[in-house]
Amino acid sequence: MSNGPIPKKADPRKLAERGAQITGIAEISAMPRLASFLCSEQGAVDVTLEFAVDEQHLRTVTGTAKGQVFMTCQRCLEPVSIDIEATFNLAVVLNDEQARNLPRYFDPLLVEEEDVELLPIVEDELILSLPSVPKHVDCSVKTSWGDSETVRLQQEKPNPFSVLASLKDKVDKR
């Protein structure tokens, strides 16, 4: 176990046969494609990758990458912190044909040389896990329809306590 960065490159086939695990961090500043969706390059995500050989003799890479990033709120345009979590469900393939024959629950990890670069794999899944419309849960900027909708609902909805009180009145008057 270490909190250092994950290795730049690894041989997934060898690691799978050893049943190895990689844990470490991936700096956001080292993932420029991911950073282009964010308003800050600061921080890092925690990565865990497990390598194994499954019962169909597929070499698999599973695991997670999670952390906190800052995106631009689409309502107030201020930074909003977003918890992201990506899940990996990969199986090593050596060519397109193997990729097509994979069970649907795996994504293909095309390995053409012994070593693959780990960061782009982590980066791809993290980009897919980003919210399409980031915003503060309690953003101070409200859309105009949002406010009038709330007022209307409050007017229409009977207060549950007044309903109970009128029921109680009826019972008492019997």
Kindly list the residues in this chain that would bind Zn ion in the complex (CB under 5 A). Answer: 73, 75-76, 136, 139
Q: Which amino acid is at 105?
A: Y
Q: Taking the complex as a whole, how short is the minimal distance between the CB of residue 127 and Zn ion, in angstroms?
A: 22
**Percent of the chain that is helix, strand, coil (3-state, to 5):** 35, 30, 35
> Distance (Å, rounded) from C-alpha 31 to C-alpha 44?
10
CB nearer Zn ion, residue 38 or residue 86? 38
The DSSP call for residue 68 is E
Q: Taking the complex as a whole, how short is the minimal distance between the CB of residue 28 and Zn ion, in angstroms?
A: 21
Q: Taking the complex as a whole, how short is the minimal distance between the CB of residue 44 and Zn ion, in angstroms?
A: 24
Please check whether residue 68 is in contact with residue 43, taking contact to mean a CB–CB distance below 8 angstroms.
yes
CB nearer Zn ion, residue 39 or residue 102? 39
Please check whether residue 48 is in contact with residue 64, taking contact to mean a CB–CB distance below 8 angstroms.
yes
> What's the token pair of residue 73?
């709120």
Q: Which of 79, 62, 71, 82 is nearest to 37 (CA)?
A: 71
3-state SS, residue 30: helix
Q: Taking the complex as a whole, how short is the minimal distance between the CB of residue 64 and Zn ion, in angstroms?
A: 27
CB nearer Zn ion, residue 83 or residue 169? 83
The DSSP call for residue 80 is E
CB nearer Zn ion, residue 13 or residue 75? 75
Beta strands, E only, 76-136 = 79-93, 107-110, 116-117
CB nearer Zn ion, residue 20 or residue 139? 139
Q: Taking the complex as a whole, how short is the minimal distance between the CB of residue 45 and Zn ion, in angstroms?
A: 23
